[in-house]
């Protein structure tokens, strides 16, 4: 299973290339919130998709039917197919599935129509309300927009949603049920209700006076994650389907592991056992040893509890490879915040680009590293390094864990042997 197209809309850019360049040049997309009046809020910063205007891409009818999360997903999916350079045949459209991970869906409409119901009564609630809100309408709207008639559903597993979507989509191809799938994630919860809800849990950073420095994974000064929005869509194909049309291939999807901590509704298991098992299952699926992995794009959200738990799980699983600087580990959330249900999709795309270009994205704001965590977190600046295999972690509330493994694509046998 190979990745042949990438569409990204993130706080770091409205395209794949803009996002990649901003991430590898250590530029933050976090800023003071512009999307709503933050008066009275204890948190006033987020990663917004600055400059995104649905009216530039979608019809009035489409805008009326969609929540922002679905708008972002449709535009990212169009960009993905354009990036893939694919002209879908009727047979392709009939078989191509759509799996888009979404954590919360149309939160802005859920709030707005709750107010409408209270102030104006039930007859004033729009008939578009439910389609604007429900999580599977990112996948549904993408399928309608692009005419894709294969399987269509949402994976909703908090911040692991789109990692699970990509893992599931790869399995559909691997099982031989379809030669191509669109997969990824979308989220748009930078709303008054969303920020207030996460802030009430003491989950968010309060560095309002310095937004760009707020997301600081593994730094001793970290005080919570930065909420962000965006979308990522990847085109996955069987290698034979991709080669038959002469596609450019970013990377191969070789492993997928998923577990549950079964520990707490929001806190990760401090032992890291669930995270470690997810990574181990992905390695087993990819038929790799820990010593084969060169880079981990970590979940690392910049929370006091989550960051050390993941780092310790990595240290236990990878052993001496993790602590002798052969394994590079970084968090791209340091540049854009946490895209929740879309995070795994964005990070899968960035991991594939890292393999393609031989560049490891940096961890920003790591000024005072936690001394107990002995890993090479690639602080401040990107690093050029030939990569063979890379792993991307996504963990979520409820203890859900998803791990994906990608391999640098080798299209001739000699390189394949070397990359193994």
- Active-site annotation, residues: 159, 299, 338
Report d(CA 162, CA 170) in Å as an integer: 12
Report d(CA 151, CA 47) in Å as an integer: 32
Report d(CA 217, CA 402) in Å as an integer: 19
Q: Which helix (H) or strand (E) holds 322?
A: helix 320-323
Q: Which residues pair with 5 in a beta bridge?
A: 235
Report d(CA 73, CA 70) in Å as an integer: 5
Contacts of 208 (CB under 8 A, 6+ apart): 32, 43, 44, 45
DSSP readout, 346-380? HHHHHHHHHHHHTEEPPBTT-SSB-TT--SB--BS
Using a 10 angstrom Cβ sphere, with 0-12 exposed, 13-18 middle and 19 or more buried, the burial of residue 419 is middle
In contact, 139 and 321? CB cutoff 8 Å? no
- Give me the half-sphere count of Cα atoms (radius 13 Å) on the Cβ side of residue 328: 26
In contact, 116 and 155? CB cutoff 8 Å? no
Q: Which helix (H) or strand (E) holds 234?
A: strand 230-237
Phi, psi of 155 (to 5 degrees): -100, 125
């Amino acid at each position: 299973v190979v990745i042949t197209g990438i569409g990204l809309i993130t706080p770091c850019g409205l395209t794949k290339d803009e996002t990649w360049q901003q991430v590898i040049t250590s530029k933050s997309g976090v800023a003071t919130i512009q999307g709503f009046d933050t008066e009275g809020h204890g948190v006033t910063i987020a990663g917004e998709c600055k400059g995104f205007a649905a009216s530039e891409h979608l019809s009035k009818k489409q805008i009326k039917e969609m929540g922002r999360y679905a708008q972002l997903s449709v535009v990212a999916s169009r960009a993905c197919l354009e990036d893939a350079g694919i002209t879908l045949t009727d047979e392709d459209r009939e078989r191509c599935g759509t799996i888009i991970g979404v954590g919360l869906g149309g939160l802005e409409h859920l709030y707005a129509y709750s107010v409408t119901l209270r102030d104006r009564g039930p007859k004033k609630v729009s008939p578009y309300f439910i389609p604007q809100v429900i999580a599977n309408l990112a996948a549904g709207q993408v399928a309608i927009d692009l005419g894709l008639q294969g399987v269509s559903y949402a994976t909703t597993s908090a911040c692991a949603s789109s990692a699970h979507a990509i893992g599931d989509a790869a399995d559909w191809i691997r099982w031989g049920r379809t030669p191509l799938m669109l997969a990824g994630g979308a989220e748009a919860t930078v709303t008054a209700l969303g920020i207030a809800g996460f802030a009430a849990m003491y989950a968010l950073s309060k560095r309002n006076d310095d937004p760009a420095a707020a997301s600081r994974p593994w730094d001793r000064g970290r005080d919570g994650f930065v909420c962000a929005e965006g979308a990522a869509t990847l085109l996955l194909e069987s290698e034979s389907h991709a080669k038959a049309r002469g596609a450019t291939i970013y990377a191969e999807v070789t492993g997928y592991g998923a577990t549950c901590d079964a520990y707490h509704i929001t806190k990760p298991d401090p032992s890291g056992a669930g995270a470690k098992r997810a990574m181990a299952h992905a390695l087993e699926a990819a038929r790799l040893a820990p010593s084969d992995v060169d880079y981990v794009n970590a979940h690392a959200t910049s929370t006091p509890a989550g960051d050390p738990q993941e780092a310790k799980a990595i240290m236990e699983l990878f052993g001496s490879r993790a602590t002798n600087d052969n394994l590079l580990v970084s968090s791209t959330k340091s540049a854009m915040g946490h895209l929740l249900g879309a995070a795994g999709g964005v990070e899968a795309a960035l991991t594939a680009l890292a393999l393609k270009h031989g560049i490891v994205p940096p961890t920003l704001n790591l000024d005072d590293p936690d001394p107990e965590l002995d890993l090479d977190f690639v602080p401040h600046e990107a690093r050029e390094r030939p990569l063979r295999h890379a792993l991307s972690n996504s963990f979520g509330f409820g203890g859900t864990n998803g791990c994906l493994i990608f391999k640098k694509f080798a299209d001739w046998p000699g390189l394949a042997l070397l990359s193994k």
